[in-house]
Every structure is written in C-alpha cells, then in structure tokens.
Amino acid sequence: MCGIAGLVDLRGRPAEPALARRMASTLWHRGPDAGGVFADGPCALSHRRLAIIDLSGGAQPMSVDDGALTVTFNGEIFNYLELKAELEREHGRVFATRSDTETLLHAYAVWGDDCVTRFNGQWAFAIWDRRRRRLFCARDRIGVRPFFHTVHDGRFLFGSEVKALFSVPGVPRAFDVLGLHEVLTYWCALAPRTAWQGMSELPPGHTLTVDGGDVVTRRYWQLDYQTRDPLAEQQAASELRALLVSSAQLRLRADVPVGAYVSGGLDSSVIAGVVKHHTQTPLKTFSVGFDDAELDESTWQAEVVRALGTDHASVMASGDLIGASFPEVAWHLETPVVRTAPAPLFVLAGLVRQRGLKVVLTGEGADEMLGGYDIFKEAKVRRFWAKQPHSRLRPLLLRRLYPYMKNLQAQPEAYRRAFFHVRPEDLDSPFFSHLPRWRLTQQLTALLADDVGAQLARHDPLEELRARLPDGYASWHPFAQAQYLESSILLPGYILSSQGDRMAMGRSVEGRYPFLDVRVMEWAGRLPATHKMKVLDEKHVLKRAAHDLVPPSVLARPKQPYRAPDAHSFFDPQTGKARHAWIDELTSERAVAAAGVFRPASATKLIEKARKGAISGVKENMALVVLISTQLVHHRFVADFPTAFPEEST
C-alpha cells in the first residue's frame, strides 16, 4: 500500500517533477519505504512506497513497453499471479518483476480501460499513456483506497489525500458547506463531493481519464441486489465458506508477515479462524480495549485468542489517550467526524507497526454484505410496528435492540414513534431504513453559524441522493435497499475511509478485507434476505458457515456495535477540565468565530455542558465531537497548514 500523487498540465506545458515530489512528500506516512518521481511532457507522477510485494523489484513509478506506459499505484491486485499467467500464456507479455504493479500495467496494455473489471483487489492508480498523451485513473469497486483530484491553474492534480493537493501553491483551502451538510447527514460527504471547496473524490467503481483538456469519469461497477433462485441454507453456507477461504488466501499474498485484527465480534473472529484452520500461515492478532466496561470487548477477544492459539497483542484506548491522539487523527482524517471511533483504530494500527507488521486482515464488510447491523434489524422492527402504529407491544422490540440508549428508552411512546419514523408516509420513503439515523444527525445543523445555515436553506441532501439511486432500486426487497444505502454511503465514505484507510495508513499499515472480495460481494447481493437475517438473527448464513471456526459463545453473542468514548475523551468527568490544552484553545469563542462554521454562543453552551459532565445521549455526544473535530481540521488545514514539507530523497 502506498501514497500516490501527480499532475497533468491541461495546456500542454511541461510538468514540474519538483511539484509532484512535493505533493508526495505530504504522504510519507503512507509509504516510508521508498519514493519516486516520473515526468514526461505535461505529466508528472510521484509515489511513496510501503513495500509489501516484490520488495526489491516493485519500485514506482513503474514503466513497461519501453516507457510507453507508466503507473503510480496505491493498493493490491490480489489475483495478480493468475492474471500474470494469462497475460504470458495468451498474450505473450514478458515480465521483468514479480510485482502486482507490473501485472496492472500489462493488463492495461492488453485490455485497455476494461482491465479494471478483471482485477480482484483494492486500488487507486494513475497510468500515463505516452502514445495517447492520456492519463487513465481508477478506484476499486467499493472504495477501499482513496483518490482525490482538482483542477487549478490549468493543471489537473490528484493524490491519495487532500493534503497532497493543498501542498500545491495557490490551491484554495476552504470548507464546502454542502459537503459539511452531508457529513451532518450521512457522517461523510458523498463522492464526488468532499468537505472541501473545489476538491473532488473519484467515486468507488469509477474510472477517470484526462485526455487533452477533458476530464471524464465513467462507472464500471455497482452493487446489485437481483436475488437468484433461493438456495438451501446449508448450500448457501457451504458456498460462503468456500468463498471466504479463497478470499482470505488471496489476501495473505505478501512478501511480509500478515496479521489480523480480533475485535471480539463474529466477523474478525471468522477471518482469523479461516486463516488458522485453512492455511499454514502463523497468525499474529491485535485488538483494542476500553477502560469503559460498557464499550470494552476484551473478554470476548481473549476467548477468541485462546480458542485459536494466536500470538496476540492488545492496547487499551483510554479516554485520555483518545483525546491526546485526536490532533494527529484529524491530520489524517482531513474531514470532520461525528464520533471518536477512528482514534482507537489509529492507536491499534500503531501497535501493529510497533510489533513489526504492516499488513492486517480485518472483518469490515461482513455487516454490510451479509446483514449484520442493528439498523437492518431496526428497519425490520419498524416496518412490523408501522403495520399497527398504536401497538403497545411491537415497539418493545426496539427496547431490546438498543438497551444502551438509555435516554431514548426513557422517552414517551409518542416521541419514540416520531424518532423511529413509523408513519405511513415514512414507509413510502426510499430511505425508510436510514431516516432515524440521518434525521438525528441533521439536527446538528442547529449549531451552525447563521450565514452557513442560510447557505444550506435550499440544500436537501436526501433529494440529491434520491436522484442518484440506481435503476431497479424501487423493486428491490426493503432489506436490500437498506443494504445498498449502508454499503454505498457509510461503508466507503466513513468505515473504509475515516476508520479504515486513514487510520491504518497514518501508521503505515495496510488493511485487507476478505468480506469485500468482489466474488463475496456479488454472491451476497444475489442471496435472499431471509438467509442474511432469519427473523431477527443477523448474518444467519455466516453463522452457519463459520459454526466450527469460532468459539460457540462468540457465535451466539448478540452484536455489539463498535463504539468509543466521546465526551469523556475530551473532558474529565470528575473535574470538568479539558484533558488537553488545545481543546480549550480551539473551542474558545474567539477560535470558533474565526473558523466561521459554528455559532460561538451555541458552541460555548455545549462546551460548558461538557465541563459539567452533563453531555448525555447520542446527539449531544455527536455534537461535541463534530464541533471539536471541525475546529481541529480547520486549524490543521486552513489556519495553520504547513508551508514547507520535507523533500524526501527519491
């Protein structure tokens, strides 16, 4: 895994290699092992390398065909050995290295833009085609790896992170209020929009070409939920297990050791179990715990480790440690967030790196693809309740689902009915499953400064999203609609980005996701909803497939959402004092007014409540985190962005 950056002068002027090098120097954390720069006419490509495959022969930017094609590549093509054999056998391609990077280039030489449809992996890359004077870029199907771009001063600029683009002199750095509005709805901006004016993100499953002065994007893949003929449960379980074994085996391909995260839940335990039982790979596992017993899963983690006999290491993410790490976390996030959950994963990745590893397998994607989240249960219960909206018994199922949401449980029935949107008009919404979450987060806009709120008065994120729904969405099963919204919005925009790529790569660690193998995703899309959730038993088919891979207690335990302490990470609940001086500095009325995003009086009121230990409930905790993270991001990227970066030797 690596960091990539580059530019194409749209007016044909010679590109500046030094500028490309400067862009890549902001991404040193993504690739501390080596760096390189390439320039040809109007194009310059740069690279920071995290060496994982072909340690001696995989340097980038890499060229083939006497320099006709050159790539800067972030990611892995896991089926590169099979593709290499086909390219040698069927097309006479000659290879000089053992790297998947060279396989990517030869695949483009033979299959052109459609090469991406043959890749099983996670990637973002840019290929300069010298003969056609054309840049071809692509991002993987589900958005594991990032790709940002902009046009400034007649140049197309791209990079793995926005900071690479901001390092170019003269590029503006200012929040996009519409992007912030989406963060305050979906927890993330929806690609191509970002939280930054003028900055675009290449959406997952898309390619981009820069040809002359034209910049064109094209979709090549999309999640689909056309259910096939029902499978018997056991057959479905057998097929899923075979797919997961193959997927994990592919993701163990590396010339360095590969570890695994163990959260104590089903998904990561299954992946660790597959590696333990179906491969010969010695397994090191890693986990993070909390000093808050309500959030901590250490007991379950220890049970998995004992059962699998792994070489295990763990770290405790206290509230104080989360607060201390948050300024660095914000530098890697590059966007405001509504939860502190990314920070413990940043700490965990640091442990992995300290133990000498730089690749880990994780369980992300199982909940989205196989129906594991509480939001899927919630939508099913809400539909059941909506058939008899005045029932006293049906809403009690939601109390069982969310026992930890004490404020919500204490509310009267009429409030809960409004909160969970069980009115007939709500049932007609294409976003029925997600309305409670999105409407709750949107309430945070009350904190915004008056002029920011005025700019948002005519912006309705849900109406924009409605126009982007895929053909056939209305005919999908309601469970599939909920899965699509979760998999196409929160998964790439927040889970794989803010909690995934940014936190791991911030510590020079690559995450790999067996549940997000294209074969698993497409197979799961065709699986009937009843196999994913049987009554209210989430990931039912996965439990059958993994019945002998994990301890019975882990198999049977209810899903525990991953959460981290929010308000307590910034303010000591005993003394009311800010845990770190920067918190007081960046949340003062003066600093809030200078950033211009929030109403200073509202921010001060919220901070004073936090000092008293009176922050309670999901909404107030999110409000505090979005205030603090926005102020931090503004400070790091707008008010105090570095003017110079270390020019790494290449």
Q: Both 187 and 306 in a single domain? A: no
Number of domains within the chain: 3
DSSP 532-586: H-BTTBTTHHHHHHTTTTS-HHHHHSPP------SGGGTB-TTT--BSSHHHHHH
> How many Cβ atoms are within 10 Å of 478's Cβ, its own excluded?
16
275 has pLDDT over 50: yes
Calculate the dihedral angle through the C-alpha atoms of 597, 602, 603, 609, rounding to the nearest 10 degrees.
-160
Quote the pLDDT of residue 386: 77
Contact 193, 200 (CB under 8 A): yes
Least confident of 139-143, 226-230, 376-380, 554-558: 226-230
Scored b (16 or more CB within 10 A) or e, 541-575 reads: bbbbbbeebbbeebbeeeebebbbbbbbbbbeeee
Give per-residue pLDDT as tens, 437-460. Answer: 999 999 999 999 999 999 998 899
Q: Where does a domain end: 166, 190, 219? A: 219
68 lies in the same domain as 209 = yes
The DSSP secondary-structure symbol of 360 reads E
- 66 and 155, same domain (yes or no): yes
- Is residue 195 domain-shared with residue 72, that is, in the same domain? yes
pLDDT above 80 for 146: yes
CA 420 to CA 403: how far, in whole Å? 15
Q: Is position 440 within any domain? A: no
Instruction: Give the domain range for residue 632.
Output: 567-639
The pLDDT confidence band at residue 643, using thresholds 50, 70 and 90, is confident
Same domain, 206 and 58: yes
Q: Domain with 212 in it: what CATH number?
A: 3.60.20.10
> How high is the mean pLDDT of the chain?
94
Domain boundary among 556, 590, 621: 556
Locus of tokens 């790539």: 71
Give CA–CA dist 634/158, Å, rounded. Answer: 21
Lowest mean pLDDT among 268-272, 397-401, 586-590: 397-401
pLDDT at 130 over 60: yes
Distance CA 381, CA 378 (A): 5
Asked whether residue 295 is assigned to any structural domain, the reply reads yes
Which strand (E) or helix (H) includes residue 214? strand 214-219
pLDDT band at 649 (very low <50, low <70, confident <90, very high): very low
- The beta strands (E) that lie in 41-171 are given as 43-49, 62-64, 69-77, 121-129, 134-139, 148-152, 155-159
CATH number at residue 281: 3.40.50.620
Q: How far apart are CA 139 and CA 208, in angstroms?
A: 9
Q: Are 188 and 172 in contact (CB under 8 A)?
A: no
The rounded distance, in Å, linking the Cα atoms of 240 and 488 is 22
pLDDT at position 387, please?
78
477: in domain:
no
Structure tokens, 639: 């008010």
**What is the Cα–Cα distance from 337 to 110, expressed in whole angstroms?**
42
**What is each CA distance from 334 to 29, 185, 305, 375, in whole angstroms?**
14, 18, 35, 27
Q: Are residue 245 and residue 358 in the same domain, yes or no?
A: yes
Phi-psi region of 230 (alpha: psi -120 to 50; beta: other; left: phi over 0): beta
Asked if 317 contacts 330 with a C-beta cutoff of 8 angstroms, the reply is no
Q: Is residue 402 situated within a structural domain?
A: no
pLDDT in tens, 186-235: 999 999 999 999 999 999 999 999 998 899 999 999 999 987 767 899 99
331 within some domain: no
Whether the per-residue pLDDT at 650 is higher than 60: the answer is no
Whether residues 108 and 133 fall in one domain: yes
Residue appearing with tokens 């501390």: 32
Query: Are 591 and 303 spatial neighbours (Cβ–Cβ below 8 Å)?
Result: no
When pLDDT is cut at 50, 70 and 90, the band that residue 574 belongs to is: confident
Write out pLDDT tens, residues 1-20.
Answer: 699 999 999 999 999 999 99
- Which of 339, 598, 634 has the alpha carbon at shortest distance from 606? 598
Looking at the structure, tell me whether residues 175 and 317 fall in a common domain: no
28 and 152 part of one domain: yes
Does residue 459 form part of some domain? Answer: no
Residues 112, 189 within the same domain: yes
Indicate whether 468 belongs to any domain: no
User: Within this chain, do residues 112 and 7 fall inside the same structural domain, yes or no?
Assistant: yes
This prediction has a pTM of: 0.95
| Cα 370 to Cα 366: distance, rounded to the nearest angstrom | 6
Note whether 44 and 126 are same-domain residues.
Answer: yes
Instruction: Note the pLDDT tens digit of each residue in 288-338.
Output: 999 999 999 999 999 999 999 999 999 999 999 999 999 999 999 999 999
Last residue of a domain, one of 157, 187, 219: 219
Q: Which helix (H) or strand (E) holds 217?
A: strand 214-219
Would 103 be classed as within a structural domain?
yes
What pLDDT is recorded for position 648? 46
pLDDT average, residue stretch 275-280: 94
